[in-house]
Structure formats: structure tokens, C-alpha cells
Amino acid sequence: MQRYGSNKFKTALDAVRRIENWPAAWNLRLRRHQNGLTLLRFRDGMNVVCRGNTRDWDVVHELMFAGGYARAFEFLRGNRGRKAVLDLGGNIGLFSLLAAAQSPELQLHAYEPGPPNYRLFEMNRLANPQLSERIILHREAVAGETRETKWFFDEKNPGGSSLFATEGASFDVRITAFADVVASMTDTIALAKIDIEGAEFELIERTPAAVWEKIPAISLELHGDPSSRMTQPQFLERMRGYGYNIHEETVCSYFLTRR
């Protein structure tokens, strides 16, 4: 998850309008170095647990107030019939919750390998019982090939935790090949959200072209290649070669649809 700009006054007003316990949201912003968990109760029925002294609030702001993944959610609202949505890099679970809310026929498969994020995702899933039965949470990462490796936790920016860091608490995690994830789906896939902190380069290098034909749309957060073998323009050109139109949403965020 990348950092974005925000209008603090507008954010404060949005919090009052949309969050029942809005003083708790203000507290997350004004006392950023205060530890502990905060439950935000949105007036539309959504409940979101955030960690203090982290950038969890930034995730909430990006998706709830700043229009993050707006094209993805609009695309999902237009789908008919039972479909699967893949959430690669589940973090605190907010994308999965909002995606599930777009249609009662969507089945979410979320992949989050790190225990600290996985636990919070599970809390947020259970805090929203109207959606939780349609969200399957997998404690694993997704990349190019299946294996065991280390995952490093960034306690200040949990959404930036990755397989490629060299600092922070480390955890043994399982990676499942993207091709195997796609093959395991019994429902037609509607969309894949990919925000995996650089592992997208390994994923694209080792996923056969035929796999991409099963993915009609992708919401992509594009980072730097940890191996420095591929540039971001080369990554996007590869995706064009796989049959996608690319729509830039922000500096690092793209929405891809098959031609």
C-alpha cells in the first residue's frame, strides 16, 4: 500500500459523516503514536479494527474516503452470477470486505501470510458477520512458485511488510504459485487484486500466459523489482502482451482489463 496525499479538514468531516464513533477516528489521526486497537463503526454497517501507531488508518482513508480501488468496485458491481475475487496481499482485510459488499454473489479468497496481519484480518472478518461467510482467508503468500520462505513484518507500516525486507520480525510462511491458486478456483474469477510488495515481478515471470486468460480484470499496486531484473514499464508491457488494457489510477496503482 502506497502513501497518498489527503486534505485533513475534509478527512475530519468525512469521519464525522461516515463513522458513528468518529472521535475514535480522530484519535487515530491526532495520536498516531498511541498503541492499541480501535474499532471504527461506520454508519453503513461496516466495522473496521485498526492498530494504533501504524499506518492502518491510512488504509482506511485510502479505501473508504479517497476512492481507492473505485474502478475495481464498480467493475465488481457489474458482475452477475457467482464469481470469485482474489485478494493477494490481504493486509487488514478492508479490500475483501468492500469487495464482498459489492454483490452478494461474490466469493472472496484472500491471501495474507504474516501472522500479525492475518490476525487483524480475521478480527475484521468476524466483526462483519454479514460478509464473513463469503470471505475465505488463506494464511499464505502468492507469488511465482510454491515454497517456504521468510516474511518480514514492518510494525509501523504493516501493509508494507514483505518477503524481501532484511529488518523487522520475521516469520516462516508458505508461498503458493499464482498458477496453482487460479487452478484451485471452482468459480469463475471476476477480478484479482495484487498488492504483494514486489513479489508481482516473480509472479509475472513464472505464470504461464494461459493463466492470465482466466483473469478478466486486475487491480495492481506496482512496486520496484527486488531483483532489479525488470522495470515497471517492462512489467506493464508484459501485461499488455498478455491481452490487457492498462488504466493508470495513481502513481503506482493500475486497473487492467482484458481486451
State the average pLDDT over residues 145-168. 95
Beta strands in the chain (DSSP E): 37-41, 47-51, 83-88, 106-111, 135-138, 141-143, 147-153, 169-177, 189-194, 217-221, 244-248, 253-258
Inter-residue long-range contacts of 104-107, CB under 8 Å, 24+ positions, other chains counted: 104/134, 105/79, 105/80, 105/81, 106/76, 106/79, 106/82, 106/134, 106/190, 107/82, 107/83, 107/134, 107/136, 107/187
Q: Within 13 Å of residue 47, how many CA atoms lie on the same side as its CB? A: 16
What is the pLDDT confidence band of residue 13, given thresholds at 50, 70 and 90?
A: very high
Spatial distance between the Cα atoms of 158 and 55, rounded to a whole number of angstroms: 7
pLDDT bracket for residue 6 (50, 70, 90): low
Least Cα distance to 154 among 66, 60, 53 occurs for 53
The CATH 3.40.50.150 domain(s) of the chain lie at 68-258
Yes or no: say if 76 and 191 are a contact pair by the CB < 8 Å rule.
yes
Q: What is the pLDDT of residue 5?
A: 47
CA dist., res. 170 & res. 123, Å (int) = 22
Rounded Cα distance between 65 and 245, Å, is 27
Lowest-pLDDT choice from 5-14, 214-223, 249-258: 5-14
pLDDT digits (tens, 9 = 90+) for 24-66: 999 998 888 899 999 999 999 999 999 999 999 999 999 999 9
- The residue type at 211: V
Give the DSSP H/E element, type plus range, for residue 117: helix 115-126
Rounded Cα–Cα distance for residues 64 and 50 (Å): 13
Would you state the cell numbers that stand for residue 4, as one nine-digit string? 497518498
pTM for the complete prediction? 0.95
Measured between alpha carbons, how far is 56 from 118 in angstroms, rounded to an integer? 13
Question: Per-residue pLDDT for 158 more than 70?
Answer: yes
Q: Residue range 80-101: average pLDDT?
A: 97
Domain range 68-258, CATH architecture: 3-Layer(aba) Sandwich (3.40)
| Cα distance between residue 117 and residue 172, in whole Å | 14
